[in-house]
Amino acid sequence: MAPSIKDEILEIVATVIEKEAGDISLDAHLVQEVGADSMMALEILAALEKKYHIVVPEERLKEMTTVNKIIQMVETARKRG
């Protein structure tokens, strides 16, 4: 079975933040609780754009606060095509 989009995104986030995927709760605030910073957010965004062939405008970076919100954002962007 192909990995779900949730697992894929969690893996990208975990790799950039250098934590184990299992240690990141989907609703934890990535900056305040997980220890990410704005440059990591940019790296995550660049990786997502490459993987899913989407373009996310700069203003949406501040919405990427939790893994669940990132999943939501990617799904919306994919629907828009």
| Positions that interact with another protein (CB under 8 A) | 37-39, 41-43, 45-46, 49-50, 58, 61-62
Residue closer to another protein (CB basis): 36 or 67 = 36
Residue closer to another protein (CB basis): 43 or 75 = 43
Minimum CB distance to another protein, residue 19 (Å): 17
Residue closer to another protein (CB basis): 24 or 44 = 44
Going from the C-alpha of 46 to that of each of 1, 13, 16, 23, 36, the distances in angstroms are: 26, 11, 11, 22, 15
| Helices H / strands E in the chain, number of each | 3, 0
Cα–Cα distance measured from residue 5 to residue 74, given in angstroms and rounded to the nearest whole number: 9
Residue with tokens 């999943």, as numbered in its chain: 71
